[in-house]
Amino acid sequence: MPQEQYPHRSTMQTSEGPQVYKVGIYGWRKRCLYFFVLLLMILILVNLAMTIWILKVMNFTIDGMGNLRITDKGLKLEGDSEFLKPLYAKEIRSRPGNPLYFQSARNVTVNILNEKTKVLTRLVTGPQAVEAHSQKFEVKTLSGKLLFSADDNEVVVGAERLRVLGAEGTVFPKSIETPNVRADPFKELRLESPTRALVMEAPKGIEINAEAGSLKATCRTELRLESKDGEITLNSAKIKLPNLPQGSSSSAGSRQKIYELCVCPNGRLFLSQAGTSSTCQINTSVCL
């Protein structure tokens, strides 16, 4: 454009001659502007240095951050890790050949939820106990054989042998059902009921066998051997009844050590000193 149309921008025609005005920032304003630009550059450099330092310390790479790596199969975490919030994952496993540890200052809880986020199964490992909450609990071998199972109705032990190593044995408040009860080799087997009765029942018979030792049955009041439809057989080379009562002697001067075994009408056994004939009738006072 012609300069004549805007004479006030650059020059002004006066009687003394043209007057020129300087366009720009000068003086202390210019120095402040340079100072702010320099300060901004310093802040940018410091910010860039801090960013590079954080990336270096946190070990940021294109594959992940620190011990956390992003792979095609998911996230790979190396070393120890701490989770402050709940962890949701489809699968958690360790590296091949290395164990997987779960550590907590209080407890470790594993929950199995359904579609409505309702807890179906819960496993809680605490400082005092390990609790499992589910409808059924099973322990199986690698081949799928059932070793132990427990639910509201019954507890099943599928192992071929159940060993109890406690010094006081095992206490069953109610009845048990098993085809065989035996002790370890060279160990004693004791079945007792301190305050109640001990009952053994079987539809086809009960066999008590001590192959390398003795069999002892002790009671406070009465020991009864009863057979409803069969017989009771005592098969041994020697049968001793040391504490049987003895009837009165038929003759005061007789010192023989031969006795006759007598049976009272109520089934009680007693000894009577033998004579030329039966002496059981003479000593019937023992049956009273």
Can you tell me the distance from the alpha carbon of 94 to that of 77, in angstroms, rounded to the nearest whole number? 9
End-to-end CA separation in angstroms for the chain: 156
At residue 44, the pLDDT reads: 96
Span 54-82, mean pLDDT? 78
SS3 256: coil
Can you tell me the distance from the alpha carbon of 19 to that of 200, in angstroms, rounded to the nearest whole number? 132
Per-residue model confidence as pLDDT tens digits over 15-67: 556 666 666 677 788 889 899 999 999 999 999 999 999 888 877 777 777 77
246 DSSP 8-state letter: B
At residue 10, the pLDDT reads: 46
At residue 48, the pLDDT reads: 95
Sort 283 into a burial class: Cβ within 10 Å, 0-12 / 13-18 / 19+: buried
At residue 250, the pLDDT reads: 52
At residue 286, the pLDDT reads: 73
Span 238-264, mean pLDDT? 73
Against a cut of 0.75, is the pTM above it? Answer: no
Can you tell me the distance from the alpha carbon of 92 to that of 74, in angstroms, rounded to the nearest whole number? 10
The amino acid sitting at 101 is Y
What residues contact residue 164 under an 8 Å CB cut-off, 6+ apart? 170
Percent pLDDT > 90 in the chain is: 9
The average confidence (pLDDT) of the chain is: 79
Percent pLDDT > 70 in the chain is: 87
At residue 129, the pLDDT reads: 87
CA dihedral 234, 238, 242, 246 (to 10 degrees): 80
**pLDDT for 14 beyond 90:** no
At residue 2, the pLDDT reads: 45
What are residue 246's DSSP bridge partners? Answer: 271
At residue 7, the pLDDT reads: 43
Can you tell me the distance from the alpha carbon of 288 to that of 286, in angstroms, rounded to the nearest whole number? 6
Per-residue model confidence as pLDDT tens digits over 189-247: 888 777 777 787 777 777 777 777 777 888 877 777 777 888 888 888 888 888 888 77
**pLDDT for 11 beyond 50:** no
Can you tell me the distance from the alpha carbon of 278 to that of 261, in angstroms, rounded to the nearest whole number? 10
- CA 24 distance to own-chain centroid: 84
**pLDDT for 252 beyond 60:** no
Span 92-117, mean pLDDT? 83
Considering only residues 74 and 19, tell me which one the structure prediction assigns the higher pLDDT.
Answer: 74
Tokens 């053994």 belong to residue: 200
Considering only residues 182 and 118, tell me which one the structure prediction assigns the higher pLDDT.
Answer: 118
Q: By mean pLDDT, which of 11-15, 147-151, 159-163, 236-240 is the weakest?
A: 11-15
